[in-house]
Structure 1
Amino acid sequence: MIRVNFKSHNKEVICSKGENLLEIARNNKIFIDAPCNGNVSCGKCKVKLLKGKVDTEKTLHIKDEEWEQGYILACNTKVIEDIEIEVPSKLSSSMHGMKIEGSDKKKDQEIFDRAKKIIEDNNFDFKTNIEKTYIELDKPTIDDNICDIDRIERYVRNNLGYDEIDYTVELLRKVPEVIRESDFNVTITYVKKKNKITILNIEPGNNENQLYGVAIDIGTTSVVVCLVDLYSKEIVDKASSGNAQIKYGADVIHRIIYSTKKNGLKHLRDAVIDETINPLLESIYIKNNIDKDNVVSLVIAGNTTMSSLFLGVHTDYLRQEPFIPPFLKSPKLIGKDIGLNVNDSAYIFLAPSVASYVGGDITAGVLSAGIWTSEENILFIDLGTNGEIVFGNKDYMMSCACSAGPAFEGGGISCGMRASNGAIEKVSIDKETLYPKLSIIGDDKPIGICGSGIIDLICQMLLSGVVDRRGKINKDLNNDRIRFNEHEIGEYVLAFKEEYGIENDITVTEVDIDNFIRAKGAIYSGAATLIESLGMDFSAIDKVYIAGGIGNNLNIENSILIGLLPDIEREKFAYIGNSSLVGSYLALVSKDAKMKLQDIGNEMTYVELSVYPTYMDEFISACFLPHTNIEQFPTVKELLGDKVKI
């Protein structure tokens, strides 16, 4: 047996000779960022070998000076003897968001106000079919010796007007003790369905004032949990963190591949439930003194892969042509089925998916965006780890998905991270000195750069001449912030370690820029192809709604200048935040909204871009700054002037 001492985590583990270092870390809950899921293509799993020898090779991702200092790729390393390893804090930057982040009352109120307006504008009932009632049961006697559950059913039939009750075995197990503990005076929580109720919970005494539901957005990169008072419909609290599945790959394809490995599906399910959602729920319960048994309804939205992995359902056929998902509509689920930290009998509803790569997060987003009731043509773009697009109005809704990858949430970028404390979110560059001015979330030392910051940075690099329209760094510039490695790959230094007292320089490389250009090209070409499939062009758009995890600090102008968004009137653009969470909240607090969410899933048409004849040509054309056809971007043409040539 071999000992591996992760000095940075103060943890020593035992393994066998020849085991992969990345897998050793994963198996022992030590996070090492590996967006490519360990196929040696991203170079982000660099760790420092402090003692001992390993079986590894130097790759293009490791600089000569780093190699001399002992840096290796964990995914490309086998252990052969006792070693000591340090995981640099910088290399955990994308998991900085695994720290639980609390509620923002202003944003919570915005969600409530927006949802309420949608409910009022569409004459939806602002109520659910879940209720709570205090009941006083007759005590059993020799003459009145019916069983406990029949005693409850008799009361319900005689006093509440329902013909029958239904319940789970979990509920039944609680009944005998609870009714006697409270001298046969109890509170029942139940779901109404015509003349029948399903009892979800039973509590001693009168406890009619606590009734909660949870809306959850399961993103590929991050997860948000929102606790809601089902009486007032107000948001009690909200918490978010990174999705712990990220250690198995930054995007859905890598996770699907990992799910096919031994115990892979279980590991992924455990990561999202036991390591992500349940800790978020627990943090809210403790903070607000909530009993989990009073959480009786959940609405959960995630893309098709996330929904499948959440249920532990095999997903491999979803990524193989003809791209068939295992399910689209939510099966009947209760809390115990999933292992969530809620009432065992809690109702769980998954937002319906449309296709393999247009999931419940998009149907929930469309519900909140109001496309289904709009007279105007709305282009809806979700800039999360996956790029999904919807175009339409009340008469039709067309959708597609783009292979954008995780770049908009910092994945696939050497110093990338999600939008949390320490992330560079805004960048401007002085055209004379090429000195960057940074805006950092939390006004702290920079850790990395998030999606909105990357957009600003690439735009500023283009306008200041640091990069050309291919995204290549100008070798003729004599500036200490521009440098090239031994392989002639250029990089721009956003933050020198000496400037901020940080562990390493924060840089963006030509590889990073190329990754981002492909991501933005996928979004633009996807939108163009989707609209073209209807015989229209961008002039037909009345409004553009931007949703997703990229943050409120998305600069629309810079997004247009790099060719992410079409060059149309700026007043048509609006950022609508986490539309998936808002849609989940809507379905949680309004049974009418939940029915509309199901309708949206049935009515939306999916366009498979991979087989659409013009998509690949459009994508290749969009993989420049801003596009090979500069005429589509008159604003950029005017700004670049004589630099317009590729």
Structure 2
Amino acid sequence: MIKINFTSHNKEVYCNKGDNLLEVARNLNIFIDAPCNGNVSCGKCKVKLLKGNVDTEKTLHIKDEEWEQGYILACNTKVIEDIEIEVPSKLSSSMHGMKIEGSDKKRDKEIFDRAKNIIETHNLDFKTNIVKTYIELDEPTLDDNISDADRLERHVRNNLGYDEIDFKLDILKKMPVVFRQNNFKVTITYVKKKNKITILNIESGNTEDRLYGVAIDIGTTSVVVCLVDLYTKEVIDKASSGNAQIKYGADVIHRIIYSSKKNGLDHLNKAVIEETINPLLESIYIKNKIDKDNVVSLVVAGNTTMSSLFLGVYVDYLRQEPFIPPFLKSPKLMADDIGLNVNKSAYLYLAPSVASYVGGDITAGVLSAGIWASDENILFIDLGTNGEIVFGNKDFMMSCACSAGPAFEGGGISCGMRASNGAVEKVSIDKETLKPHLTTIGDCDPIGICGSGIIDLICQMLITGIVDRRGKLQRDLDNKRIRFNEHEIGEYVLAFKEEYNLENDITVTEVDIDNFIKAKGAIYSGASVLVESLGMDFSIVDKVYIAGGIGNNLNIENSILIGLLPDIEREKFEYIGNSSLVGSYLALISKDAKQKLKQIGNEMTYVELSVYPTYMDEFISACFLPHTNIEQFPTVKSLLGE
């Protein structure tokens, strides 16, 4: 056996000769960022070899000076003898995303207000079918010696007016003790359906004031959990973190591939349930002093892949033509079926998907955006790890998905990270000195850059002449922030390590820019084809809603200037944040909204871009700043003097 000492984590592990270093770290639950899932294409899994020898090779992702210092790619390394490894703190730009982040009361109120507006505007019922009632049962005697279960059923039938009562085994196990803790005075929580009720919880005494639900958005990069008071409908608290599945790949394709490997599906399911959602729930319970048994209803939204992995359902056929998902509609679920840290009998509803790459996060987003009831033509664009687009109104809704990759949430970018504290979210560049001015989330020192910051940066680099319209750095600029490596790949220094006491400079390379141009090109071309498929163009669009994890400070003007969004009237654009979470929250607090969510899933039409005749031509044309046909962007044409 060979010993590996991860000095940065103070952990030791024994493995077999020839084992892959990245897999060893994963098994030890040491997070090493590997967006490409270990196929040696992203270069983000750099670690430092402090002692010993390994079987590895130098790649283009490792600079000469890094190689001399002992840096290697974990995914490209086999262990051959005892070694010491340091996982650089630079990886904290991704590790940071795994930390649990608390609630923002202002944004929590925005969730409530947007949902309330949808409910009131469209006359939806602000009610659920979950009820909590305090009851006093007759205490047993020798003359009245029926079973505890029969005693409860008799009371429900005689006093609450329901003919039938149903409950799971865990409720039956609680009955004998709970009934006698307070002389058969108990509170029952139940779901009512016509003349039948299903018991979800039994508590000693009167606890009618405590009844909660949870809305969950499972993103490919981030997961958000929202605790809701089912009486007042208010958001009590919210917590988020990175999706722990990210260690198995940054995008859905890499995770689907990993799921088909031995134990891969179990690892991915465990990562999202046990390592992500349950810790988020526990953090909220502790903070708010809440008993998990009082959490009796959940609504969960995620893309088709995330929904499948959440349930532990085999998903590999989804990526193979003809791209068939295992399911679209939510099966009947209870929390105990998948091991969630809530009441075992809690009802769980999974937002319906539309197709292989348009999932429940989009149907929930469409619900919250009100497209289904609008007279206006609305273009809905979700800029998450995957790019999904919906165009429509109350009469029709067309949808598509773009292979944008994780760039909008910082993935595929050398210094990229999700929109959390320390992420650069705004950038401006002085035209004379080429020095950037940075604004970070949380007003702290920068540790990376998120999607909105990348958009600003590329736009500023274009209008200041640092890059040309292909996204290539100008070779004749004499400035310390512009440099080229031994392979003639250019990079722009966003922050020198000396400025912020960093281990390494924060840079954006030509490879990063190219990745982002492809991502924005996918979105623009997808939207263009979707609108064109109906014989229309962007002039017919009345509103453009931008949703997703790209950050609250998305600059619409800059997004248009780089060719991400169409060059139309600016007042038509609105950033609506995490629409998936708002839609999940709506379905949690309103049975009418949940029914509408089901209808949206059934009524939305899906366009498969991969087989659409003109899509590839549109995509290639859009992989330019802003576009090969600059006539589509008159604002940029004027600004650049072309």
TM-score range, shorter chain: over 0.9
Query: Which residue of the partner structure matches residue 572 of structure 1?
Result: 572
Amino acid at match of 2:569: E
Q: Secondary structure at the match of 1:8?
A: coil
Q: Distance in 2 between matches of 1:531 and 1:94?
A: 36
SS of 1:183's equivalent?
Answer: coil
CA distance in 1 between counterparts of 2:266 and 2:71 reads 31
Query: What corresponds to 2:96 in structure 1?
Result: 96
Determine helix, strand or coil for the equivalent of 1:353: coil
| CA-to-aligned-CA distance 1:142-173 (integer Å, 9 cap, x gap) | 22222111110110000000001111111111
Quote the offset at 1:410 in angstroms: 0.2
- Map residues 280-291 of structure 1 onto 2, 5 A cutoff: 280-291=280-291
Report which stretch shifted further, 517-526 or 113-122.
Answer: 113-122
> Is 1:229 aligned to 2:226, yes or no?
no
- Which residue is equivalent to 1:534? 534
2:133 and 2:443 map into 1 onto residues whose CA distance is 49
Question: Structure 2: 5+ residue runs without aligned partners?
Answer: none
Q: Using the TM superposition, give the Cα deviation of residue 452 of structure 1 relative to its aligned residue in structure 2, in angstroms.
A: 0.4
Partner of 1:547: 547
**Correspondence for 2:40:** 40
Cα distance in 1 for residues equivalent to 2:265 and 2:182: 44
Map residues 516-527 of structure 1 onto 2, 5 A cutoff: 516-527=516-527
CA drift of 1:182 comes to 2.0
Deviations 1:192-235 (A, max 9, x none): 10010000000111111100000000000000000000001011
Partner SS for 1:597 = helix
Which moves more between the two structures, 519-528 or 425-434?
425-434
Counterparts of 1:16 and 1:422 in 2: how far apart (Å)? 39
Q: Which amino acid is the alignment partner of residue 467 of structure 1? A: V
Letter in 1 for 2:607: V
Q: In the TM superposition, what are the counterparts of 1:308-457 in structure 2 within 5 Å?
A: 308-457=308-457
8 Å contact 1:94–1:411 — kept in the other structure?
no
* 2:63 is equivalent to residue 25 of structure 1: no
- Contact 2:410–2:416 (CA under 8 A) maintained in structure 1: yes
Aligned pair count? 642
Equivalent-residue separation in structure 1 for 2:27 and 2:93 (angstroms): 20
Q: Once the 2 structures are TM-superposed, how far is the Cα of residue 96 of structure 1 from its aligned partner?
A: 0.9
What is the distance in 1 between the residues matched to 2:484 and 2:435? 18
TM-superposition CA deviations, 1:359-391 (whole Å, max 9, x none): 000000000000000000000000000000000
Whole-angstrom CA distance in 2 between matches of 1:3 and 1:446: 36
Q: Which amino acid aligns with 1:166?
A: D
Distance between the aligned counterparts of 1:311 and 1:202, measured in 2? 27
Deviations 1:411-436 (A, max 9, x none): 00000000111111111111111111
Matching residue's letter, 1:183: N
Q: How does 1:155-234 map to 2 (within 5 A)?
A: 155-234=155-234
Structure 2 partner of 1:74: 74
Residue deviations 1:510-533 (CA, integer Å, cap 9, x gap): 000000000000000000000000
**CA offsets 1:168-201 (integer angstroms, 9 cap, x no match):** 1111111111112221111100001001000000
Offset of 1:117 from its aligned partner?
1.1
- Between the aligned partners of 2:35 and 2:335, the Cα distance in structure 1 is 31
TM norm structure 2: 0.99
Residue 622 of structure 1 aligns with an amino acid whose one-letter code is A
Amino acid at match of 2:590: S
- Give the structure 2 partner of residue 151 of structure 1: 151
Give the Cα separation in 1 of the matches to 2:113 and 2:602. 27
1:593-635 CA-to-partner distances (Å, cap 9, x unmatched) read 0000000000000000000000000000000000000000000
The SS at the match of 1:610 is helix
Q: What does residue 620 of structure 1 align with?
A: 620
Q: Alignment partner of 1:576: what SS?
A: strand
**Partner of 1:522: helix, strand, or coil?**
helix
CA distance in 2, matches of 1:530, 1:276: 35
Once the 2 structures are TM-superposed, how far is the Cα of residue 500 of structure 1 from its aligned partner?
A: 1.4
Shift, 1:91, TM fit: 2.1
Q: CA deviation at 1:95?
A: 2.6
**Gaps in structure 1 of 5+ consecutive residues:** none
2:94 counterpart SS class: helix
Superposed displacement of residue 138, structure 1: 1.1
2:286 is paired with a residue whose SS is helix
Structure 1 position 92, deviation (Å): 3.2
Pairing 1:631–2:602 present? no
Deviation at 1:241, TM superposition (A): 0.4
Task: Specify the SS of the correspondent of 2:8.
Answer: helix
Kept in 1, the 8 Å contact 2:450–2:551? The answer is: no
Q: What is the CA–CA distance in structure 1 between the aligned matches of 2:128 and 2:193, rounded to whole Å?
A: 11
Determine the C-alpha separation between the residues in 2 that align with 1:159 and 1:325.
47
Q: What amino acid does structure 2 have at the position aligned with 1:319? A: R
Residues 31 and 92, structure 1, Cα contact 8 Å, conserved in 2: no
SS of the aligned residue for 1:588 comes to helix
Match of 2:142 in 1: 142
Partner deviation per Cα, 1:464-519 (whole Å, 9 max, x = no partner): 11111111111011111000011110000000101111110000000000000000
Q: What letter matches 1:208 in structure 2?
A: E
Aligned to 2:63: 63
Residues 216 and 298 of structure 1 are in contact (CA less than 8 Å); yes or no, is this contact kept in structure 2? yes
Q: Contact 1:94 / 1:410 at 8 angstroms: preserved in 2?
A: no
Contact 1:567 1:635 in 2 (8 A): yes
Paired position in structure 1 for 2:305: 305
Partner of 1:3: 3
**Whole-angstrom CA distance in 2 between matches of 1:380 and 1:500:** 38
Q: In the aligned structure 2, how far is the partner of 1:479 from the partner of 1:34?
A: 32
Range with greater deviation from structure 2 (495-504 or 628-637): 495-504
Find the residue that maps to 1:585 and give its secondary structure. Answer: helix
The answer to whether the 8 A contact 1:95-1:417 is kept is no
CA contact (8 A) 1:32 1:92 kept: no
Asked if structure 2 preserves the Cα contact closer than 8 Å seen for 1:381 and 1:389, the reply is yes
Aligned to 1:603: 603
> What are the residue-to-residue correspondences of 1:105-124 with 2, within 5 Å?
105-124=105-124
Task: Render the CA deviation track for 1:435-474: whole Å, top value 9, x for unaligned.
Answer: 1111111222211111000000000001111111111111
Moved more, 250-259 or 138-147: 138-147
Structure 1 residue aligned with 2:471: 471
- Whether the 8 Å contact between 1:6 and 1:87 is mirrored in structure 2 is yes
1:561 aligns with 2:565: no
Q: For 2:444, give the aligned amino acid.
A: D
Q: Which residue of 2 aligns with 1:498?
A: 498
Question: Do the aligned partners of 2:313 and 2:326 also contact (CA within 8 Å) in 1?
Answer: yes
